[in-house]
Amino acid sequence: MPRTVAQKLLQRHSDDTVREAGQIVRCRVSLVLANDITAPLAIKSFRAMGAADVFDKDKVALVCDHFTPNKDIDSAEQVKGVREFAHEKGITHYYEGGNVGVEHALLPELGLVGPGDIVVGADSHTCTYGGLGAFATGMGSTDIAGAMALGETWFKVPPTIRVEINGTPDAHVGGKDYILNLIGKIGVAGALYKALEFGGSAVDALTIEGRMTMANMAIEAGGKVGLFAADAKTLEYTRAAGRTGDELLSADPGASYERVVQIDVTGMEPQIACPHLPDNVHPVSEVRDVEIHQVVIGSCTNGRIEDMREAAAILKGRKVSSGVRCIVLPATPRIWRQSMDEGLFAIFMDAGAVIGPPTCGPCLGGHMGILAGGERALATTNRNFKGRMGSLDAEVYLANPAVAAASAVTGIITHPKDL
């Protein structure tokens, strides 16, 4: 029978025959992931289960990226517990300190995730790896403990929504805008426990980093996974990351979809998600002139090297507004070093921005950019829930890196073309 990308990926890892949406199947996993917030809970459950060891020391990744460098005693104790577990179990892929990066940017560049994989993580944005053609999804820490012990888990086969994105985008419009536009159309529950399968000419033209940005925010529409076909671009990316044996992957002709959503990006403006939900989306022209106090450029959504370059191109020769704190957080040590070597840091510093280490930091209201009551932030992050970045009386707007950089210069939400 013709299969969607989601069905083909699940079938590769299951002895059950994948037949239809709603079916329960057992699948072997390629990688199990947790971070400094979620791993302590998974470790507690792992020990309570009486598990002696992880199923494969090379297929568990523990990335201490959320509250690190440790912001207080509690976060230091959490990381200590994860560190001790990693050493006790001989886990190969433990990351902290100088080798840590935001997990969903770090693992792809290390070649730990790729086409055909099934990845489960105790973090909702694990779906990022769908940009590489992996069935990747977030789970609760107890389920992650089971996967660490057994090397398998179960899934309900999700129905698939096909998202066809076509047209030619204007300057300063890309993957972040495409996914925000989709979330605005279908809502934060529009793909609840469903697969979003992306295709079309505009998707084909995206870089792999742009595809990962889109897959990252599939969860903001309620999606179980956000999936892209693995094409020649994908294989070039994964080969550069040191992987071998990856293959092309796409849906079968005639695969059955629950629905098809059409998006034309020709003439699309940069999209802004306004408080307090990611589906409160408007074109930038409708929210321009909103005063902001902080800009954050980074996160697992838009902290990659092309995001740094995009922001630097806007900030070059300009100054951040005196009323704005502009925080730049390259997502991994490699991106940090590349940004420095390319002269991007000089641009950011000359503009008056703050450059921080690779960390999730302010995205989840962790540290390094907490908002006070009454303040507004414009961020390249993925969520703008009430209280997400600090005070319950603060507001967060979401945008692409070019809009974020332009708005840092003017102190109000701004289309880059207006500079």
236 with 281, same domain: the answer is no
Whether 203 is in a domain gets the answer yes
Q: Which of 228, 263, 298 is the last residue of a domain?
A: 263
- 125: exposed, middle or buried (C-beta count within 10 Å: 0-12, 13-18, 19+)? buried
278 with 246, same domain: the answer is no
Whether 197 is in a domain gets the answer yes
Question: What is the radius of gyration, based on Cα positions, of the chain?
Answer: 20
Distance in angstroms (rounded) separating the CA atoms of residues 129 and 218: 11
306 with 336, same domain: the answer is yes
Amino acid 69: pLDDT: 87
275 with 134, same domain: the answer is no
- Is residue 104 reached through a cis peptide bond, with omega within 30 degrees of 0 on the bond before it? no
Whether 3 is in a domain gets the answer no
How far lies 2's CA from each of 229, 252, 258, in Å? 15, 5, 14
- 383: exposed, middle or buried (C-beta count within 10 Å: 0-12, 13-18, 19+)? buried
Whether 1 is in a domain gets the answer no
214 with 143, same domain: the answer is yes
Whether 353 is in a domain gets the answer yes
**Residue-range definition of the domain harbouring residue 172:** 8-14+23-263
Q: Which of 263, 279, 307 is the last residue of a domain?
A: 263
pLDDT tens-digit readout, 85-132: 999 999 999 999 999 999 999 999 999 999 999 999 999 999 999 999
**Residues in the chain with pLDDT < 50?**
none
240 with 330, same domain: the answer is no
Whether 276 is in a domain gets the answer yes
Q: At what angle do helices 39-48 and 73-89 cross, to 10 degrees?
A: 50
Q: What is the pTM of this model?
A: 0.96
Distance in angstroms (rounded) separating the CA atoms of residues 264 and 419: 26
Residue 252 in contact with residue 229, Cβ under 8 Å? Answer: no
Amino acid 187: pLDDT: 97
233 with 300, same domain: the answer is no
Strands, sheet with 160-166, edge to edge from the N-terminal-most edge strand: 225-228, 195-199, 160-166, 259-264
Q: Which of 239, 263, 287 is the last residue of a domain?
A: 263
Distance in angstroms (rounded) separating the CA atoms of residues 251 and 30: 21
197 with 305, same domain: the answer is no
Whether 2 is in a domain gets the answer no
Residue 49 sits in a domain whose CATH number is 3.30.499.10
27 with 175, same domain: the answer is yes
229 with 247, same domain: the answer is yes
152 with 293, same domain: the answer is no
**To 10 degrees, the CA torsion angle through 316, 322, 325, 331?**
10
Residue 166 in contact with residue 263, Cβ under 8 Å? Answer: yes
259 with 324, same domain: the answer is no
Structural domain count, the chain: 2
Residue 328 in contact with residue 362, Cβ under 8 Å? Answer: no
Amino acid 146: pLDDT: 98
- For residue 76, count other CB atoms closer than 10 A to its CB: 15
The amino acid at 121: G
Whether 83 is in a domain gets the answer yes
Place of tokens 């605005």: 184
